Amino acid sequence: MRRRDLLAGIASAGVVAGGAGLAVFGRPSLDDDTEPEEPVELETVEAAGSTDGTVMIPNLDADRVRFLDFFATWCAPCKEQMPAIAEARDRTEADFVSVTNEPIGRTVSEGELREWWADHDGGWTVALDPTGELSERYEVSGYPTAVVLDREGVVDWSHSGILSADGIVNRIEAAE
């Protein structure tokens, strides 16, 4: 075997192993901060399981793990993700918040959002991030994206893509 072929094989194995690690464990945090970010206040939507008002993220007074689901109504994988989130919510004591930064009133009305939420069995808080501040803070680059905040409001884990209910529950339990 030529040396060049051997080195190419080793490099390829490293890329595959790195991709597998990313798929299993999610992307690493880009900072090592152990302090929570300053809270962002988001408007919430009156919908199934959600009341009209506001929510603070992170909620530094809650002393609960919080699961954030960043989604969009046009996102097919987000629709597919909803049953797993609902099941995980039923199995844990964590606080669940789904967040969209869709421009309400432009691409989707609040009524259409409520209808989408009900059609996909949403039963927890749904919040609006119209400026994308929260999405930027948690480095959301695609949908769906999940973020688990520990009891102190610090990011414990994040992942872009579809998750199983067991996967969500395991990440929440690891943050408790």
The confidence band for 67, taking pLDDT boundaries of 50, 70 and 90, is very high
Express each pLDDT in 81-112 by its tens digit.
999 999 999 999 999 999 999 999 898 999 99
Reference 37, options 56, 53, 54, 63; nearest CA is: 56
In this structure, are residues 93 and 12 in contact, taking their beta carbons and an 8 Å threshold?
no
How large is the angle between the packed helices 165-175 and 76-91, nearest 10 degrees? Answer: 50
Express each pLDDT in 37-58 by its tens digit.
789 999 999 999 999 999 999 9
> CA-CA distance, 150 to 34, in Å (whole number)?
10
The 8-class DSSP code of residue 104 comes to B
What is the phi/psi pair of residue 25, to 5°? Answer: -105, -5
